[in-house]
Structure 1
């Protein structure tokens, strides 16, 4: 019987022949393919498309690495233990840098006081977070070729050093433009390198349970946000914001440095690749209408995700009269904890029900939760919003690898992720200043929150259009 190739089946393939002992999938000429052993005896062999990656051998020479592994109950990996270590490394990295982003609102609240005294507006202060988020995704256009040329190890180590150094240098800044360059640009560039590598490596180890693996990796963002939501306010109160940045920079480097040591793509076990290397960025996938729907969804998501994480502490202070540092930090911690749980459950649901419809439902639910925030006038209502928004808002990051691979195939996963992150950049770069201007011009949070909801609802509609397209127009 033919093997179940999961997402590989029908991906960029022109046809297949089968017999009792062998299944061969014929790929388009430009897509590299490799032989994958189907059993311990090697009696069944399947040829599937896999991304190329460059590594170094023990003598330091560059070699071409491919995925040559056995199928074990829908999981593609060299060994279970190593695959789990890769996921754990991804978890630590994402906990460190996205967990920090999740509670950036605490830093922004402090900067509003520090630089507001120098005459800086809230929208000018919020541009620190926008620069970090914008470079995290926008620098992908350079991070992708860097990873393609130098491999995952160099990419991970570079990201760990640059992002940690950015946080450390920010602790000595005395002018807002200096914070732009360090906590904004430097941290964002390092986070871009880390993000791309941590999104690209784990999917190479898993097939059937890819959504669960990515859910575990990205739930680190929620775990980090939950812990940091309590720890960072306590540190600020105890030692001030500058020493808090120094302590966190050290912690960030320990987590990401460990991940850089343990994360790698599966090594080549036997035989050369059966086709030549492809270009590092395949723009032909932009001609796929399904990918363009996903592309536009990613663009809208960039304008949506970070707003509550940045403005909930300020909302708690201005509307309800809570302490932005203490209760505001706790709300972000609750939001992040729900985010961690949501990412795992969403990952499992995506494996079983399909990543696209699950992501579409989560987008609509996250948009609906914004209306709870819009009319929240009590601490309890804000807690309810934090739980609901936190649970559903992380679907994009959990499903990004599965949805992209579903549309363009694993052979083009690197190109797909690069393009999705690039289109995500404008929103991450400008959404906080836009939100700040909306608030400044209206004098109310309601219009700003409505803008946030519209981005999510628009993305949800596009995802259901994509699900419809896949079901009724693709064979």
Structure 2
């Protein structure tokens, strides 16, 4: 991956100061040559960065992916008399904050550095979990598990997606795929722990155990994170041109609708298994099955982009997902069909979450990645903010808290829309590639 040219013109000291003020925390210093030789891409400390970012996502996104366990506990036990649309605000706030606040990571890191920002984010999330363990009401969990934990996790996720592209070139697709799979593998580790604690102890102690594991792992991983290139930034300048970039707009819209469809499956599938007559333990254990296939799909999706067009993968995955919602889960009365849906959804419903950061890192310069990822995730968070309560209302009023067909139709429509948008995305990427064929820094790993 070629380096970014931020060399200042010597003609004017004032011009130099102005230019420097616009460089953010991932910008390359004019004296970076020696550092580039010391920290080469695809070697040495690059693998430490990959593992650190993997573990950060494993426990930040993993905790969010495991929220289905808590959602089932809230719906069926802890708040069984509370309307579903009210309960939904806990998961809504948690997922919204986790996705949408990453846009602030660039501003914070430009002042205190990437490592300090990551460690601060880990501490904030841990405080949120600590307060959540003492919460007994919906509004308290919205504030603690939702706002505080979600904010810290969002900063950590953004940094973990934005730093690795500096460290990888040849193996970037593999590294980003592995990092993105962290959420799935993390859920696989956290779900049995949370489930067991809910069975043998209490909700409070299930949160406290999560807190101990989260604080330990993300604290160590955050300490290991650092930029490959020196920090020369002093201020944050948001590039409003990204708001008019068709590629970013399309990626944001795809993420908007994918979040709606995905939230239906993640939040309501375990409860649907209980309504089929199976016990809650089996329902939550199936989330582990989903996590295995989800993590494997993310890892494989990232790797195969070196051979297969990333957007073609996205188009195919979204199309298949829109089909299986109606073919397998809609009106399902058997465990066989429902399980088949959940497994296939784990395979085809999640590639966007690894392909999106790969496409961004392959298409844009290093210093743009954090802001672009933050903006896309902000839109995805906004999607959850308006959709999850609405879906809960539909499930409460039309589904009478037992019929899932109405929300399944919503998910089907959303993934159908993403299929169409993905086709437009491919066209936009091809159009962007044409004038930049001579510049190999553009869209290199995403073969079009």
How does the TM-score come out when normalised to structure 1? 0.81
Output the CA distance in 2 between the equivalents of 1:244 and 1:256.
Answer: 18
Match of 2:445 in 1: none
Aligned: 1:471 with 2:425: no
User: Would you tell me which structure has more helix in proportion to its own residues?
Assistant: 2
Output the CA distance in 2 between the equivalents of 1:336 and 1:179.
Answer: 24
Distance apart, 1:451 and its partner CA: 0.7
Match of 2:238 in 1: 281
Aligned: 1:450 with 2:409: yes
Answer yes or no: is the 8 Å Cα contact 1:291–1:408 preserved in 2.
no
Output the CA distance in 2 between the equivalents of 1:114 and 1:327.
Answer: 16
Q: 1:116 aligns with which of 69, 75, 79?
A: 79
Q: 2:160 aligns with which of 176, 194, 198?
A: 198
Answer yes or no: is the 8 Å Cα contact 2:360–2:369 preserved in 1.
yes
Unpaired runs of 5+ residues, structure 1, are 9-24, 35-50, 56-62
Distance apart, 1:239 and its partner CA: 1.2
Answer yes or no: is the 8 Å Cα contact 1:102–1:225 preserved in 2.
yes
Match of 2:116 in 1: 154
Output the CA distance in 2 between the equivalents of 1:175 and 1:65.
Answer: 55
Match of 1:322 in 2: 278
Distance apart, 1:198 and its partner CA: 0.6
User: Does the residue aligned with 1:190 lie in a helix, a strand or coil?
Assistant: helix
Distance apart, 1:364 and its partner CA: 2.2
How big is each residue's C-alpha offset from its partner over 1:198-254, in whole Å with a ceiling of 9 and x where there is no partner?
111111111232221111112121112223332321121111221111011110111
Match of 1:308 in 2: 265
How big is each residue's C-alpha offset from its partner over 1:106-129, in whole Å with a ceiling of 9 and x where there is no partner?
111222245535x42111111101
Match of 2:19 in 1: none
Using CA pairs under 8 Å that are at least 6 residues apart, name the structure with larger relative contact order, 1 or 2. Answer: 2
How big is each residue's C-alpha offset from its partner over 1:345-401, in whole Å with a ceiling of 9 and x where there is no partner?
100122322322222322222322322222432222222112111122222221222
Q: 1:394 aligns with which of 350, 353, 363?
A: 350
Q: 1:368 aligns with which of 323, 327, 336?
A: 323
User: Cα 1:158–1:121, aligned 2, differ >3 Å: closer, same or farther?
Assistant: same
Output the CA distance in 1 between the equivalents of 2:412 and 2:111.
Answer: 40
User: Does the residue aligned with 1:53 lie in a helix, a strand or coil?
Assistant: coil
Aligned: 1:354 with 2:322: no
Output the CA distance in 2 between the equivalents of 1:126 and 1:115.
Answer: 13
User: Cα 1:65–1:129, aligned 2, differ >3 Å: closer, same or farther?
Assistant: farther
Q: 1:462 aligns with which of 414, 418, 421?
A: 421
Match of 1:296 in 2: 253
Distance apart, 1:413 and its partner CA: 1.6
Answer yes or no: is the 8 Å Cα contact 1:112–1:125 preserved in 2.
yes
Output the CA distance in 2 between the equivalents of 1:398 and 1:468.
Answer: 20
User: Cα 1:294–1:79, aligned 2, differ >3 Å: closer, same or farther?
Assistant: closer
Answer yes or no: is the 8 Å Cα contact 1:210–1:351 preserved in 2.
no
Match of 2:6 in 1: 32
Superposition map of 1:154-173 within 5 A:
154-173=116-135
Match of 1:145 in 2: 107
Superposition map of 1:184-195 within 5 A:
184-195=146-157
Moved more, 326-335 or 131-140: 131-140
User: Would you tell me which structure has more strand in proportion to its own residues?
Assistant: 1
User: Cα 1:104–1:353, aligned 2, differ >3 Å: closer, same or farther?
Assistant: same
Output the CA distance in 2 between the equivalents of 1:359 and 1:223.
Answer: 21
Moved more, 139-148 or 219-228: 139-148
Answer yes or no: is the 8 Å Cα contact 2:7–2:30 preserved in 1.
no
Answer yes or no: is the 8 Å Cα contact 1:349–1:358 preserved in 2.
no
User: Does the residue aligned with 1:250 lie in a helix, a strand or coil?
Assistant: helix
User: Cα 1:467–1:199, aligned 2, differ >3 Å: closer, same or farther?
Assistant: same
Distance apart, 1:133 and its partner CA: 1.0
Distance apart, 1:341 and its partner CA: 0.6
Output the CA distance in 2 between the equivalents of 1:109 and 1:460.
Answer: 30
Answer yes or no: is the 8 Å Cα contact 1:291–1:407 preserved in 2.
no
Aligned: 1:382 with 2:354: no
Q: 1:403 aligns with which of 356, 359, 382?
A: 359
How big is each residue's C-alpha offset from its partner over 1:289-319, in whole Å with a ceiling of 9 and x where there is no partner?
232222222222232223211111111011x
Q: 1:69 aligns with which of 36, 44, 49?
A: 36
User: Does the residue aligned with 2:306 lie in a helix, a strand or coil?
Assistant: helix
Distance apart, 1:408 and its partner CA: 3.4
Output the CA distance in 1 between the equivalents of 2:292 and 2:216.
Answer: 22
User: Cα 1:459–1:407, aligned 2, differ >3 Å: closer, same or farther?
Assistant: farther
Distance apart, 1:66 and its partner CA: 5.7
Distance apart, 1:429 and its partner CA: 1.9
Answer yes or no: is the 8 Å Cα contact 1:281–1:414 preserved in 2.
no
Output the CA distance in 1 between the equivalents of 2:31 and 2:321.
Answer: 40
Unpaired runs of 5+ residues, structure 2, are 9-22, 435-448
Output the CA distance in 2 between the equivalents of 1:418 and 1:433.
Answer: 23
Output the CA distance in 2 between the equivalents of 1:114 and 1:227.
Answer: 23
